[in-house]
Structure 1
Amino acid sequence: MLTLYSYPKLFGVADNNGYGLKVYAFLKLTGVPFIHQNVFDASAAPRGQLPYIVDDGEVVGDSGTILVHLIRKYGLTIDTALTAAQRDTSHMITRMLDDLYWVMSYSRWQDEQYWPAFRDALLREHPRLTEQDLGKAQEFNSRRYYYQGIGRYVPADAYARGVADLEVLANLLAGGQYVHGPQPTSVDAAIYGFTANILFYPIETSLKRFAASQPELVRHCHAIHAAIA
């Protein structure tokens, strides 16, 4: 059976990382049977990054590549009805979520206003983790943020980037149940991966406050959350 390896669950969602939760939601929406293994150490993953899957002995990493693999291997029809223009829109949304990822991650691991609460939540929900484990992870992430660029922003400017991304998502979702109509497609799983990790986050970051003020984002997130329960 297919196994999904992704980061630990937190705050009521199956993975506290947007990319792993994206794959989890996609598998649930498409009905592909799988086992979910939550891990913290990514050293065994392709390119040292989670999530990844092991499917009949084949190891596939990167959330986007995983979805392509699953669609091809299992003949999934979740995106079959999309037009070329809709596929382009999905692609652009997916790339924008890559930008949102850095801001969301920054809010947890870098911003000293929120880092202690995030650290304590991980320790509380996952007793096998230690403060030393998380301290090393914070140092590693700080280096990533610096070289990516978001780590050179002051918090207000970093969150302005994330809020701008969330505002675009809210606008795209206005007036419809899902991005491309009445049924969810793979891009809806991707959006959920990030909005659930913001809206279910009990600490009032700037991202959480803005997302919670957008009815379309809240509606979409809870619709997917209920569909994959």
Structure 2
Amino acid sequence: MLTLYSYPALFGVADNNGYGLKVFAFLKFAGLPFRHTHILDASSAPRAQLPYIVDGDDAVGDSDRIIAYLTHRYDLIIDAGLQLGDRQMGHLVSRMLDDLYWVMSYSRWKDERFWPAFRDALRGAHPELSDEQLRKAREFNAQRYHYQGIGRYAPEEAYARGTADLQVLANLVPASGFLFGSKPSSFDAAIYGFIANIYFYDIETPLKKCVSSNANLINHCRAIHRLMG
């Protein structure tokens, strides 16, 4: 059976990482049967990153490559009705979410105001996590943030980037329905992956405050969340 390997669940969402939740939502939209396995050690994954899937003899990493692979392999029609302009806009949204990822991750692992609550939430949901594992994960992320650049920002500067991304997204997502009509596409799965991990996040970061002030983002998130049941 097709298996999705991704980070653990948290705060009622199936993966506390936007990319893993994106693939999870896409699989649900597609109606493909799959096994969901939560892991923390990504050393055996393609590119040593989560999420990834194993489908028979194929191991595929990177959320966009996973979606492209599954669409081709199983002749999925989720995005079949999208026009060229829709696909191009979806591409731009996906790249904006890549930028948002860093701010969202920063809010969890780096910001001293929110790190203790995030750490305690992880421990509560996953008591198997040791202090040493969390310490190493935090140090690893701090190094990533430094080389990517977001780690060199003051918190208010980092959140200004993230809330700017969210406000653009709020201007694109309709008040009801989905990004390109009445049916969800792979780009709606991508949006859900990130917005759900902010909206259902039980810690009042500036990102959550921004999402909570935009009804259309909430409506979109909740509509997809209901489909995940």
Same fold (TM over 0.5): yes
| Structure-1 separation of matches of 2:111 and 2:217 | 24
| Structure-2 separation of matches of 1:175 and 1:207 | 20
- Relative to the length of structure 1, the TM-score reads 0.99
User: Residue 54 of structure 1: CA displacement?
Assistant: 0.2
Q: Deviations over 1:179-200 (max 9, x none)?
A: 1011100000000000000000
Q: Deviations over 1:91-129 (max 9, x none)?
A: 000000000000000000000000011011111111111
Q: Deviations over 1:138-169 (max 9, x none)?
A: 00000000000000000001001000111011
| Structure-2 separation of matches of 1:198 and 1:176 | 19
Gaps of at least 5 residues in structure 2 are none
| Structure-1 separation of matches of 2:211 and 2:198 | 7
Show the counterpart of 1:209. Answer: 209
Show the counterpart of 1:33. Answer: 33
- SS of 2:54's partner is strand
| Structure-1 separation of matches of 2:110 and 2:122 | 15
| Structure-2 separation of matches of 1:72 and 1:128 | 38
Please give the residue correspondences for 1:42-81 in structure 2 after superposition, counting only pairs within 5 Å.
42-81=42-81
User: Residue 175 of structure 1: CA displacement?
Assistant: 4.0
User: Residue 176 of structure 1: CA displacement?
Assistant: 4.2
Please give the residue correspondences for 1:72-221 in structure 2 after superposition, counting only pairs within 5 Å.
72-221=72-221
- SS of 1:59's partner is strand
Q: Deviations over 1:22-57 (max 9, x none)?
A: 000000011010000000111111111000000012
| Structure-2 separation of matches of 1:179 and 1:65 | 21
Identity %: 61
| Structure-2 separation of matches of 1:135 and 1:11 | 21
- SS of 1:4's partner is strand
Please give the residue correspondences for 1:7-26 in structure 2 after superposition, counting only pairs within 5 Å.
7-26=7-26
Instruction: Kindly report the root-mean-square deviation, in angstroms, between the aligned alpha carbons of the 2 structures.
Output: 0.6
- Relative to the length of structure 2, the TM-score reads 0.99
Contact 2:175 2:219 in 1 (8 A): no
| Structure-1 separation of matches of 2:24 and 2:175 | 26
Contact 2:13 2:200 in 1 (8 A): yes
| Structure-2 separation of matches of 1:117 and 1:158 | 19
Residues 121 and 175 of structure 1: CA distance in aligned 2, closer, same or farther (over 3 Å): closer
Gaps of at least 5 residues in structure 1 are none
Q: Would you identify which runs of 4 or more consecutive aligned residues in structure 1 move more than 3 Å?
A: none
- SS of 1:54's partner is strand
